[in-house]
Amino acid sequence: MKEIYIVLTHTGTLLSRIIKSFTKDEFSHVSIALDIELKEMYSFGRLNPYNPFWGGFVHESIHKGTFKRFKKTKAKVYALRITEEQYQKVKENIEKIKMEKDKYKFNIFGLFAAGFHKKMGKEYSFYCAEFVKYVMEKADIKVGLPTVVKPEDFKQIEELQEIYTGFLRKYQYPKVKLVEVLKNNLLKYAPKKEGII
């Protein structure tokens, strides 16, 4: 089994506050990450931290770009366990979009329409929640998200395990996860003697 990570954020920017005023939700952005350290984190959002309307496919970072500029970004990070095959499909789908990112556009109209529960947009255009949903569905990860999807809808996925809540810039490799990894390694390599394991 493998894990992917769903990262919900709210930067507090003017655009995110406008979105929040329509949705009344806690979070206004969602990303998908392939690793627990969030080094391989992707979404559709700002291409330039200073321009909210110039958007597209982005490889996001806690320490660069938009999240570096907005240091008080609030976040929730969830882990979702999936099969090896599903993980590879997620990775391949992201790589495919990355290779062809110039033909993909930021669905700014769809983003605002979602606040009114309306679907709007063209082929090869996404806002953040549409992108994450698309990548998951293409990998046969069935999580029952609505047709008009918002970042907050990802909270409803039953299989999610919350691993962090707080400022995104303070996110660290969860200690509970590290303990689990160390324990598994000890069990794997420890001598199998009666009465010990």
Closest CA to 65 of 37, 41, 93: 41
Confidence check: pLDDT of 40 > 90:
yes
Domain boundaries, given as residue ranges, for the chain: 2-172
pTM here is 0.84
Q: Are 47 and 54 in contact (CB under 8 A)?
A: yes
Arithmetic mean of pLDDT over the chain: 86
Q: What pLDDT was estimated at residue 183?
A: 57
pLDDT digits (tens, 9 = 90+) for 79-123: 999 999 999 999 999 999 999 999 999 998 888 888 778 888 888
| Interval 123-145 mean pLDDT | 95
For residues 93 and 173, give the distance between their C-alpha atoms in angstroms, rounded to a whole number: 25
> How is domain 2-172 classified at the CATH fold level?
endopeptidase fold (from Nostoc punctiforme) (3.90.1720)
Closest CA to 106 of 62, 159, 149, 54: 54
Residue type, 12: G
Residue type, 170: K
Q: Are 51 and 128 in contact (CB under 8 A)?
A: no
Show the tokens assigned to 151. 């970042």
Q: What pLDDT was estimated at residue 143?
A: 87
Show the tokens assigned to 148. 């008009």
| H or E element that contains 85 | helix 84-99
Question: How many other CB atoms are found less than 10 A from the CB of residue 86?
Answer: 19
